A and B are shown apart, each in its own frame.
Chain A
Amino acid sequence: MNILIVDDQKFIREAIKADLVETSVEHDLQMFEAEDANQGIETIVATEGNIDLLILDLKMNNSDGMEVINFLSVHACYSDIPLAVISSSDQRTLELVSSIVSSLKLNLVGVFEKPINVGFILAQATRLQNQYGNEIDVNESVNTSDYDINKLLEDEQVLLCFQPQINMKSKRIIGFEVLARMYDENGYIYPDTFLPLIDKAGLNVEFSMMIIAKAFKFWENETGVTNYRLSINVTAEDLICDSLIDYIISYKKAHTHINLILELTESQKVINQACVLNSIARLIINDIGISLDDFGKSYSTYERLDTIPFNEIKIDRSFVCDIDTNKQHLLIVESTIALAKKMSVSVVAEGIETESVLNILDELGCDIGQGYLYSPPIEGRYLKAWVNRYVHKDTAINEH
């Protein structure tokens, strides 16, 4: 494990190094030191970004940690280095820095007050790396422009995965969110890659139609899971398409036993259009539930609450995944759950990855949980087996 410590105070670098040696179970620790931002950047470049943890002091003599942070943010090849910002500054400054760094899409382990708890930071960094590793595209060597999205869609090179949603009190399965993956001869292509291409090609609605049709077909034929709720993502733009709405409603009418919920994302601007509100009204009238997806992410979130008679709020994973370490996020999640209770709608928390986050959500009274702690998205062909294992309490989380 390669660790770079950037701090202008030799004593603090020595203390961190001593803590790392005494805390880490890993014997192969290689530590690099830098006493200012420039040296830090030089070391990052010299190691070709092969750093497993960057411990960065915020306020240094002759330079500051923001120089390194800005360097990481403008050089994509280094932006995934796990970054722990440390400082003796006051808590408010740390919170401000945390919010700035979070917005830069860096691999932020956290912003910590000195003296730091090295064991905790190492654990968090390892967790982040595992998570990053899980999310690495099998096709990472392929440029996005190399994909012929039209051909992939024509050939229906799409497969569906299902991520379970669990009742946090009873621990029973509530349902599954449908998540699409595309694939070619090299393996999976993840949404981060293919969705922008679909958007660029103007094929959003066609894609949604294909996913919905495939999901319906799978659900009605998959005995053993049909009783669970089926959640499908739709964008507000999809709701402008009358033929798509007609299709969903006619399907629901023909399969009244299927508990269908649409997770709605996208901009307030589009949602406010009369035709979109009209579509939402038609869906609700036909017993199709509406879940407000990515709740809290948009500035207009509260306007949406006022406009749409939804059944459920889904708190965005970016707020949920670190409520055990991020006070601001904890406050947001706590307030959202309280708001949902007042409005008598259920709350889904996505992005649950640790027991500690799960316990906090449970205490806050969150209704439904979703995340890697329960299960990563499961390919359709393995879904029934997963359900059987879970129901028979074979999974670790079920014993919680």
Chain B
Amino acid sequence: MNIDISDSLRHFFWGYSEARRLPLYRALVEELVNIHQQTALVGNDDKLNALKHQLKGICRYLSLALDEQINMMATLGQLHCLADNIHGQVAAIEDEL
């Protein structure tokens, strides 16, 4: 799933004062890295729902309407791809913050 979320990301971060952006950015990256790692682990299938819930929470805060797509994901692999995609685009805007 390739989605362009860069506008939503900018909109989210620019809604906060400069001093707040970096702590928010770091916390977001930390969470995405964690989800990314967890979804890559073999035998972690029992955590699928919990990880989906976490990613859903993040997406909602970033105003990404991905609830339905995440609900429909049946494997850690699918979730891993989405987390990877989001993480890549978040990393790409670091210099702008």
Q: Which residues of B contact A88 (CB under 8 A)?
A: 53, 56-57, 60, 67
Q: Is the CB of A114 within 8 A of B57?
A: yes
Q: CB distance B27 to A11 under 8 Å?
A: yes
Question: Once the chains are docked, how many angstroms separate the CA of A13 from the CA of B28?
Answer: 10
- In the assembled complex, the CB of B38 is this many whole angstroms from the nearest CB of chain A, namely 10
- Residue pair A114, B60 in contact (C-beta under 8 Å): yes
Task: Evaluate contact between B20 and A22: CB separation under 8 angstroms.
Answer: yes
B75 at the interface (CB under 8 A from A): no
- A residues near B40, Cβ cutoff 8 Å: none
Min Cβ gap A354→B in Å is 28
- A13: nearest residue on chain B (CB-CB)? B27
Interface assignment of B94: CB less than 8 Å from any CB of chain A: no
Contact residues of A between 21 and 50, Cβ < 8 Å to B: 21-22
Interface check A12, CB cutoff 8 A = yes
Q: Which of B47-90 contact A (CB under 8 A)?
A: 50, 53-54, 56-58, 60-61, 63, 67
Contact in complex: A115, B61 (CB < 8 Å): yes
User: In which size bucket is the chain B interface?
Assistant: 10 to 19
Chain B residues within an 8 Å CB radius of A282: none
- Which residues of chain A are near B23, meaning CB under 8 Å? 14, 18
B35 nearest CB across to chain A (Å)? 10
In whole Å, how far is A174's beta carbon from the nearest beta carbon of chain B? 46
Chain B residues near A11: list those with CB within 8 A.
Answer: 24, 27-28, 30-31, 58, 61
Complex Cα spacing A22 to B31, Å:
23
The answer to whether B14 has its CB under 8 Å from any CB of chain A is: no
A9 and B31 contact, Cβ closer than 8 Å, known pairs A14-B23, A114-B60: yes
In the bound assembly, the distance between CA atoms of A15 and B63 in angstroms comes to 13
Known: A15-B61, A22-B20, A115-B61. A59 touches B53 (CB 8 A): yes
Closest 6 A/B residue pairs (Cβ): A11-B27, A14-B27, A18-B20, A88-B57, A10-B27, A11-B31
Binding site for A on B (CB under 8 A): 16-17, 20, 23-24, 27-28, 30-31, 50, 53-54, 56-58, 60-61, 63, 67
14 contacts between A and B (CB under 8 A): A9-B31, A10-B31, A11-B58, A11-B61, A14-B27, A18-B20, A18-B24, A22-B16, A22-B17, A88-B56, A88-B57, A88-B67, A114-B61, A115-B63
